[in-house]
Amino acid sequence: MDYQSRRNHLQERLQRRKIDAVLISQPDNRRYLSGFTARDHGIEESSGALLVTTTGKTWLLTDSRYQLQAEEETGLPVLVYRKGLVRLLARLLATVDCQRFAFESHYTLHSVALAYAELAEKRRIALIPLKDLVEAQRQVKSETELSLIRHAVSLNEAVFTRIYSGLSAGMSETEVAMAIETAMHEAGAEGHSFATIVAAGSNSARPHAVPTTHRIKSSEPITIDMGLILNGYCSDMTRSFTLGPADDRYLTIHRIVRAAQLAGLAAIRPGIPMNYVDRAARKVIEEAGYGRYFGHSLGHGVGLAVHEAPSLSPRNRRILKAGMVVTVEPGIYIPGWGGVRLENMAVVRDGGAELLNHDATDLDL
Amino acid sequence: MDYQSRRNHLQERLQRRKIDAVLISQPDNRRYLSGFTARDHGIEESSGALLVTTTGKTWLLTDSRYQLQAEEETGLPVLVYRKGLVRLLARLLATVDCQRFAFESHYTLHSVALAYAELAEKRRIALIPLKDLVEAQRQVKSETELSLIRHAVSLNEAVFTRIYSGLSAGMSETEVAMAIETAMHEAGAEGHSFATIVAAGSNSARPHAVPTTHRIKSSEPITIDMGLILNGYCSDMTRSFTLGPADDRYLTIHRIVRAAQLAGLAAIRPGIPMNYVDRAARKVIEEAGYGRYFGHSLGHGVGLAVHEAPSLSPRNRRILKAGMVVTVEPGIYIPGWGGVRLENMAVVRDGGAELLNHDATDLDL
């Protein structure tokens, strides 16, 4: 991965905004620009930050636990803080010519920003809160990234296929979810990209269901939403089905959702607004009379994060670009009965959507 | 759990600071005050916030995905936002007599705080950033909470015992870690309280090691650090050992760490500064000549969060109180060789530490 050219690209954008140095604390952005793979146990337990200057210097600031890893993975000069990031930052900013210092407003706690403000006032430098600067850069993937995402999708499908063949009535949702996550590790994944959803019966009516001890019945709808991380890149896939023969109501709803998914995929191409894709899929569900049972957005970007820009939401009027990777995941959720969601991932290509999934299990019933 | 009395206690503290309403966004604080068990997928994907007023009103603000769960779990009035929390908050603050509005500075993104500031300016109300208000309240546990924590510790030990009996040379670190997390679910836990650490050989020299595909050898040091969540409350325990006979170097280091742990536990009692406990344990390791191989704090609080206040760090001069729950986990980490860490949990009682662990596996070699 060419981290240097990513940083060069960032530096050019900083120069245009007349920013001398930026602190990158968002973990995926930090990894994107440096290759440092450490994860943070929540925003309160950071494993470090990058200071990128427009003169071409970059430091990785971390604590002693991560020093070795940071040096090995990034090749960047690593500075270790013992009394917190802010004190080290104060010393470091004194050594570089910095009039305008920026930080990530959308991934910095208010209490930490207060400390930056104090520091900036003391050193008489301007403090610039930035939003989504690196996120914007991350939206369009390189071919190398697309290849890594393809591998993550493919491994996720292999895990799904293996688990699917062993499913039977009487297994609990939790049992299946844990089997999936264990299989992901055994298959060589770094981990799951989000807590695996296995939801059967009325639990499947919750888009963000948490697996329970409920034992799956042969006739009820089941939704499995799963994703893994491989080489840092995420996958995300949802399948809905029944173990035994599906009844008419299930088949009707499933086919509407599938038609909506295909309509969404068919609408994808560079240059169109993102809500146009959502509209194309949503229209199918609305016209079938189920509009009020589809409450979420059609899809989201996937990359180093499993949920990232762009959002295929009804309100997002930004324009799709070639190289973006999105999920297309319409759903119908009926309280008390259950739900159906079908999710695949696609790359925006000049000619339209390139589907990243090959799995066709229970898509076309 | 008496959520109402917790909120009453908070209201009294708010009144003393002349605050009319506070927004609670930190997920553990939100649960502590309401019983709402939803988890957040990172600070950027909140599942809601509480607005607590000093006149005794509390609302739960969330999005449609969580409405049902919020109503069922809390019995509080639930308000659903469709266009974001800030817009709903603006409408809500117009209906209550609020001159001084507070938010959690340590769990609010800078970009979100900017939106609050704009709202406050428009409505001419004072905006008060607060830190650790509810965290301070959470430090001292009730007997009901202690009983829940005891159950979480006990179940964690049962899982450890089960896995320990099946360990053999040639298993990979990841394999053991996944077996532990699966066993936690099977035993009825809600999940792990942090990603399980299984580290053997030189990997055990990293306090925050990530399990790898390394296959465990009979003679090398192994550290297992694991915790689960039961009824919302966390457990946290570490054991170090070797599968085959331990050599003299291992035994020497293990015994120093155990002596340090016992010294730390013996130092615990209400009224003493927290760094005094750290000192008591650290002194044992320093006097044995291993001081520079023990780089972290002695322990931390445990409750709804697996890492919470108070911190038993060398710099924390605050005073221990009866009812606090802390870990005591000294370690010695030697790069290239490996490490030993032993961690138990204890309640601060008037008479000294009440050990929450019963497991004695490989503690006294």
Distance, in angstroms, between A352 CA and closest chain B CA? 30
B197: chain A residues, CB-CB within 8 Å = none
Residue B296: its pLDDT value, please? 92
> What part of A 320-339 touches B (C-beta under 8 Å)?
335
pLDDT of residue A85: 94
Distance CA B28, CA B135 (A): 9
What digits encode the pLDDT tens for the residues A266-283?
999 999 999 999 999 999
Select from A45, A109, A185 the Cβ nearest to the Cβ of B106.
A109
Q: Inter-chain contact B109–A107, Cβ cutoff 8 Å?
A: yes
pLDDT surpassing 90 at residue A234: yes
Q: Which of B208-217, B235-244, B337-346 bottoms out in mean pLDDT, i.e. has the lowest? A: B208-217
Q: What is the predicted pLDDT for the residue at A83? A: 84
* Antiparallel, parallel or unpaired: β A228-230 and A233-234: antiparallel
Q: What is the pLDDT of residues B87-119, one digit of tens each?
A: 999 999 988 889 999 999 999 999 999 999 999
Measure in Å the smallest separation between the Cα of B53 and chain A Cα atoms: 22
Q: What is the pLDDT of residue A124?
A: 93
Is A131 close to B111, i.e. CB distance below 8 A?
Answer: yes
Q: Kindly list the strands in the beta sheet with A228-230, ordered across the sheet, starting from the edge strand earlier in the chain.
A: A191-192, A228-230, A233-234
Encoded tokens for B276:
């005094």
Partner residue opposite A109 with nearest CB, options B41, B107, B175? B107
- Say yes or no: B43 contacts chain A, CB-CB below 8 A: yes
DSSP letter, residue B291: G
Is A17 an 8 Å CB contact of chain B?
no
Residue B364 has pLDDT above 90, yes or no: yes
φ/ψ of B275, rounded to 5, equals: -70, -15
pLDDT, mean over chain A: 95
Structure tokens at A110: 């208010």
Model confidence at A347, pLDDT cuts 50, 70, 90, reads very high
What's the confidence (pLDDT) of residue A45? 84
A207 touches chain B (CB under 8 A): yes
Nearest to residue B225, comparing CAs of B172, B181, B291?
Answer: B181
Contact between B45 and A307 using a beta-carbon 8 Å cutoff: yes
Residue % of chain B over a pLDDT of 70 = 100
Find the residue in A nearest to B37 (Cα): A210
pLDDT at residue B82 tops 90? no
pLDDT at A64: 81
Split at pLDDT 50, 70, 90, the class of A94 is confident
Average pLDDT, chain B: 95
Minimum Cα–Cα distance from B209: chain A residue? A65
What is the rounded average pLDDT of the residues B137-162? Answer: 97
**CB proximity B185 to A under 8 Å:** yes
Best of A64, A67, A109, A292 to disrupt the B interface by mutation (most B CBs within 10 Å)?
A109
Q: Looking at residues A62-90, what average pLDDT do you find?
A: 92
DSSP labels for B183-218?
A: HHHHTT-SEESSPPEEEEGGGGGSTT----SPBPPT
User: What per-residue confidence (pLDDT) applies to A57?
Assistant: 93
pLDDT higher than threshold 90 for residue A230: yes
Q: What is the pLDDT of residues B49-65, one digit of tens each?
A: 999 999 989 999 998 88
CATH for the stretch B140-355 = 3.90.230.10
Is residue A208 over pLDDT 90? no
Residues of chain A with pLDDT > 90, as a percent, come to 90
With an 8 Å Cβ cutoff, are A113 and B113 in contact? yes
How confident is the model over A318-323, as a mean pLDDT?
Answer: 98
How far does B96 lie from chain A, in Å, by closest CA? 25
Minimum distance, in Å, between the CA of residue B352 and any CA atom of chain A: 30
With bands split at pLDDT 50, 70 and 90, how would you rate the model's confidence at A161?
Answer: very high
Sorted by where each begins, the domain ranges of chain A are: 3-138, 140-355
Q: Which residues of A touch B195 (CB under 8 A)?
A: 191
Three-class DSSP category at A70? helix
Q: Which of A111, A115, A87 is nearest to B131 (CA)?
A: A111
Q: List the single residue in A with minimal CA-CA distance to B190.
A: A212
Are A111 and B103 an interchain contact pair (Cβ–Cβ within 8 Å)?
Answer: no
Q: Which of residues 96-155 of B touch A (CB under 8 A)?
A: 103, 105-114, 129, 131
Out of A43, A182, A307, whose CB is closest to B178? Answer: A182
Cβ–Cβ gap B106/A106 under 8 Å: no
| pLDDT at residue B65 in the model | 80
Instruction: Choose among B113, B207, B335: nearest Cβ to A65.
Output: B207
Please state, as a whole number, how many other Cβ atoms lie within 10 Å of the Cβ of residue B51: 24
CB contacts of B182 in chain A (<8 Å) are: 178, 182
Q: Do A178 and B181 touch (CB under 8 A)?
A: yes
**Is there a contact between A106 and B110 if contact means CB atoms under 8 Å apart?**
yes
Which residues of B, range 218-257, sit inside 8 Å of A by Cβ?
A: none
Instruction: Decide if A65 and B181 are in contact by the 8 Å CB cutoff.
Output: no
Tokens of A283: 């229209």
Q: What are phi and psi of A356, to 5 degrees?
A: -90, -20
Question: What stretch of H or E contains A92?
Answer: helix A85-93
Q: What angle do CA B117, B118, B121 make, to 5 degrees?
A: 85
Residues facing A24 on adjacent strands: A50
- Read off the pLDDT of each residue in A76-85 and give the average, rounded to a whole number: 92
Note whether B45 contacts A: Cβ–Cβ < 8 A. yes
In degrees rounded to 5, what are phi and psi of residue B48?
A: 140, 175
Closest Cβ–Cβ partner in B111, B174, B195 for A105 = B111
Q: Shortest Cα distance from B351 to chain A (angstroms)? A: 34
Give A42's pLDDT tier (boundaries 50, 70, 90).
Answer: confident
Nearest Cα of chain B lies from the Cα of A42 at a distance, in angstroms, of 7
pLDDT (mean) for B67-90? 93
Percent above pLDDT 70 for chain A? 100
CB pairs < 8 Å spanning A and B: 90
Does the CB of A86 have a partner CB in chain B at under 8 Å?
Answer: no
Instruction: Specify the CATH class of A3-138 in words.
Output: alpha beta
Q: Which of A66, A107, A111 sits opposite B105 (nearest CB)?
A: A111
Chain A residues with beta carbon closer than 8 angstroms to that of B41: 194, 307
User: Which residues of chain A lie closer than 8 angstroms to B107, CB-CB?
Assistant: 44, 109
DSSP structure string for B57-118: -EEEEE-GGGHHHHHHHH-S-EEE-SS-HHHHHHHHHTTS--SEEEEEGGGSBHHHHHHHHH
Residue of A nearest to B47 (CA): A208
